[in-house]
């Protein structure tokens, strides 16, 4: 146990949690089993404590569950079909219709651009990414499965109004959540020593 800022943390457990985080996909979920709302609210509360430059707190979340999952599915499939042109694939259309309905909840991950023009956009994007990492770790701690997906309509400008986003805001993807039926395999990372440079003098 370590004492940091007056709070006691089990560092070994924190390390284990971070190393245990995995992306768990919808085909690994228990279909039709909803996550209690109080847990979803706690995940979002944890996300809300991400670091943020000048306290702009740019993250915004639109949470779909129940019939809302079907509403999201139909919207994104229709928008994809409308705008894909020659790139249209029936398989992708069907996937967009199906994927949300395989989840307990889908959280649209949004970045609300600060009115302070002196804050670079990349810092706001990074803050949202930190919030998503909090979602990932919290889901893992609760024994839930989830992943951050950026496909489908994520970068379609026409999608923004559906998520109450303005022209300068960004839709940054979706976080798909469910109870785990099939765990993800053990993770792997190349040695951290290959990725760092020590400057001691």
CA atoms within 13 A on the CB side of 193: 0
pLDDT tens-digit readout, 50-96: 999 999 999 999 999 999 999 999 999 999 999 999 999 999 999 99
Q: Is residue 196 part of a domain?
A: no
pLDDT mean for each 10 residues of the chain (201 residues): 66 94 97 96 98 96 98 98 94 97 98 90 97 98 98 96 97 98 94 97 93
Chain position carrying tokens 């950026």:
150
Is 19 domain-assigned? yes
pLDDT at residue 4 in the model: 56
Count of other CB atoms within 10 angstroms of residue 9: 12
Residue 64 has phi, psi (to 5 degrees) of -110, 130
Q: Which residue has the tokens 């284990």?
A: 16
The pLDDT of residue 132? 98
d(CA 23, CA 175): 10
Query: Quick check: is 192 in a domain?
Result: no
Residue that the structure tokens 């994520």 belong to: 154
The residue segments making up the domain with residue 104 are: 2-183
Residues 6+ apart with CB under 8 A from 140: 17, 20, 21, 22
Residue 38 domain flag: yes
State the Cα angle at 68 between 79 and 77, rounded to 5°: 20
Query: Quick one: pLDDT at residue 8?
Result: 76
Instruction: State the total domains in the chain.
Output: 1
CATH for 152: 3.40.109.10
| Nearest partner of 171 among 101, 103, 112, judged by Cα | 112
């Amino acid at each position: 146990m370590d004492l940091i800022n007056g709070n006691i943390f089990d560092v070994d457990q924190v390390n284990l949690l971070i190393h245990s985080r995995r992306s768990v996909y919808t085909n690994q979920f228990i279909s039709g089993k909803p996550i209690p709302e109080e847990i979803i609210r706690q995940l979002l509360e944890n996300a809300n404590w991400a670091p943020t430059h000048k306290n702009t707190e740019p993250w915004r979340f639109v949470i779909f569950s129940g019939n809302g999952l079907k509403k999201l599915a139909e919207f994104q499939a229709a928008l994809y079909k409308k705008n894909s042109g020659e790139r249209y694939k029936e398989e992708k259309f069907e996937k967009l219709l199906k994927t949300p309905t395989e989840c307990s909840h889908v959280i649209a991950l949004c970045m609300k651009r600060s009115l302070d023009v002196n804050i670079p956009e990349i810092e706001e994007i990074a803050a949202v990414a930190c919030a998503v990492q909090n979602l990932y770790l919290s889901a893992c701690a609760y024994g839930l499965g989830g992943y951050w997906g950026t496909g489908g309509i994520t970068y379609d400008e026409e999608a923004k109004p559906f998520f109450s986003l303005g022209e300068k805001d960004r839709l940054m993807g979706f976080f798909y959540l469910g109870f785990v039926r099939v765990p993800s395999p053990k993770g792997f990372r190349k040695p951290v020593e290959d990725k760092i440079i020590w400057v001691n003098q």
